[in-house]
Chain A
């Protein structure tokens, strides 16, 4: 019994240590944003990786999400004779909630995992030690471009996701269910307000920081992982990073929504 309580205590301490370490990591990355020289080309590379290369998956998933939403809403709304409001329903749920969340999930799956594994392998190959010994800060040189690229890319990806989702809803609503296209667009225009858009952008920026932070930090501290090393540790931290960033992101989503709605 006593041993179990002891173990619980030990786990708690480890968790808090992890959290503290990751917090310090994030503050170091943020404070390195303005230190010179700035790696502009690295930033471009990361935008191409995080943003531009995510376009196909964002376009596809956005389109299908919008189409499914339209189908679902139609099935419910037809009973109330409120199908005219389908545009509003589809766009509101996309812009406020599904757009930022689904985009972040897609980026976590595609970019978060890759970034975490890449950084963990760099750690294993002593690349960070090498950078430190060359008096080049790994935070400035490796982390800052990734953080900034995520902060720039996510709002853009989210807007594209929203738009393509609305378009998907239009396809189903207008061509499949015979709604009037004008009405669809008109209700969107009436229902989406500036504060909905603000929500989309605030959420996507917060999610960007969360997902890239957790991916980078988990990879960066791979050598502190207990009981595993080498390739196994890389696999383990990558899994952890994906799970942790998805859950943290959804938790943050709830917090932000409850403040902004």
Chain B
């Protein structure tokens, strides 16, 4: 694993919201064409890591190299250029509520390219069909279900054929069938376009199914990173707990709870 292969390199990254530190010394590497899943429970800092990698938040320390360029140090114009080769699918789709689904998906093309309207609509249609959304092109985002919004968000993220795709919580709040469909879609995208994909999730099955490598975060620290087998075989207590879904808080003792209730009254 040499440096030249790494598309994204995160070195020694720490991040904080004001006084509250949420990430501590993260080191990561993502290779071209790889699917990396960042896993962790709620509050483990995985969303913060994503926001840092997207340049939506400045780290308090460390660097994030994208093709060798530190996204925290480049100027606005260069950052804009970098961003055109990144696609981001947000948790709820994050479609602009004032535009129709079709217009949302065409937006990056209209803003960043000089393509004529006909080419743009062919490209948009292609992506919509890929996401199985062709018939919803003229609807407004408010008329779509959660799963459709996610898929539309994904369609918009890949409209510019980015080198790298970020996907925040693909299966959160979805029924199992839709969630499996989305996983398949992610694999297909990599297959079809050789995209590098970073997925942030807390869903185990989905992670095990799509990941080449999995990074496990716990309380803002990177616990371990490695292949699915490596994670399954990992003996670290925090990883084992996450995999076995062991609750972090003690189960409620019904008798004790009742007795406390009655004592209180």
Q: Direct contact between A and B in the complex (CB less than 8 angstroms)?
A: yes
Which residues of A come within 8 Å of B, CB atoms?
37, 45, 118, 121-122, 125-127, 129-136, 141
Supposing A134-B107, A136-B107 touch, asked if A129 and B97 sit within 8 A by C-beta, the answer is no
In the complex formed, the residue of A with least CB distance to B104 is A130
B83-91, B127-135, B228-236 - interface stretch: B83-91
Contacts of B97 in A (CB 8 A): 118, 121-122, 125, 127
State A37–B83 Cα separation when bound (angstroms): 17
Give the 6 A-B CB pairs with smallest separation, nearest first.
A130-B94, A135-B80, A135-B83, A133-B88, A126-B94, A126-B90
B41 sits at the interface (CB 8 A): no
Contacts of A134 in B (CB 8 A): 83, 88, 107-108, 111, 156
In the complex formed, the residue of A with least CB distance to B153 is A130
Q: How far is the CB of B1 from chain A (nearest CB, A)?
A: 28
Which of chain B's residues 217-242 have a Cβ closer than 8 Å to chain A? none
A-contact bits for B68-108, CB 8 A (1 contact / 0 none): 00000000000111011010101110111110000000011
Supposing A37-B111, A133-B56 touch, asked if A125 and B94 sit within 8 A by C-beta, the answer is yes
Q: Which of A45, A125, A132 contacts B56 (CB 8 A)?
A: A132
B112 sits at the interface (CB 8 A): yes
Query: Once the chains bind, are A133 and B111 in contact (CB under 8 Å)?
Result: no
State A121–B79 Cα separation when bound (angstroms): 26
- Pairs across A and B, CB under 8 Å, 29 listed: A37-B111, A118-B97, A122-B96, A122-B97, A125-B92, A126-B90, A126-B92, A127-B96, A127-B97, A129-B54, A129-B56, A129-B90, A129-B94, A130-B94, A130-B96, A130-B153, A131-B96, A132-B54, A132-B56, A133-B56, A134-B107, A134-B108, A135-B79, A135-B81, A135-B84, A135-B111, A135-B112, A136-B111, A141-B111
State A129–B91 Cα separation when bound (angstroms): 11
State A133–B162 Cα separation when bound (angstroms): 12
Contacts of A132 in B (CB 8 A): 54-56, 83
State A70–B54 Cα separation when bound (angstroms): 61
In the complex formed, the residue of A with least CB distance to B56 is A129
State A217–B95 Cα separation when bound (angstroms): 21
Supposing A122-B96, A125-B97, A135-B80 touch, asked if A130 and B108 sit within 8 A by C-beta, the answer is no
In the complex formed, the residue of B with least CB distance to A129 is B56
Which residues of B come within 8 Å of A, CB atoms?
51, 54-56, 79-81, 83-84, 86, 88, 90-92, 94-98, 107-108, 111-112, 153, 156
Contacts of B81 in A (CB 8 A): 135
Q: How far is the CB of A246 from chain B (nearest CB, A)?
A: 26
Contacts of A136 in B (CB 8 A): 107-108, 111
State A130–B108 Cα separation when bound (angstroms): 11
Q: How far is the CB of B152 from chain A (nearest CB, A)?
A: 11
In the complex formed, the residue of B with least CB distance to A131 is B96
Q: How far is the CB of B170 from chain A (nearest CB, A)?
A: 15
Q: How far is the CB of B180 from chain A (nearest CB, A)?
A: 24
Q: How far is the CB of B214 from chain A (nearest CB, A)?
A: 24
State A134–B81 Cα separation when bound (angstroms): 10
Most buried by B among A45, A121, A122: A122
Given contacts A129-B51, A135-B84, 6 further A-B contacts (CB under 8 A): A122-B97, A126-B92, A133-B54, A133-B56, A134-B107, A134-B111
Q: How far is the CB of B43 from chain A (nearest CB, A)?
A: 15
Q: How far is the CB of B82 from chain A (nearest CB, A)?
A: 8
Contacts of A122 in B (CB 8 A): 96-97
Q: How far is the CB of B167 from chain A (nearest CB, A)?
A: 12
Q: How far is the CB of B198 from chain A (nearest CB, A)?
A: 13
Query: Once the chains bind, are A127 and B83 in contact (CB under 8 Å)?
Result: no
Most buried by A among B86, B88, B95, B111: B111
Contacts of B98 in A (CB 8 A): 45
State A122–B99 Cα separation when bound (angstroms): 12
Q: Which of B83, B91, B111 contacts A126 (CB 8 A)?
A: B91
Contacts of B94 in A (CB 8 A): 125-127, 129-130
In the complex formed, the residue of B with least CB distance to A39 is B111
Q: How far is the CB of B220 from chain A (nearest CB, A)?
A: 20
State A61–B259 Cα separation when bound (angstroms): 64
Contacts of B80 in A (CB 8 A): 135
State A131–B92 Cα separation when bound (angstroms): 14
In the complex formed, the residue of A with least CB distance to B160 is A134
State A131–B94 Cα separation when bound (angstroms): 9
Contacts of B92 in A (CB 8 A): 125-126
Query: Once the chains bind, are B95 and A127 in contact (CB under 8 Å)?
Result: yes
Q: How far is the CB of A24 from chain B (nearest CB, A)?
A: 15
State A66–B83 Cα separation when bound (angstroms): 55
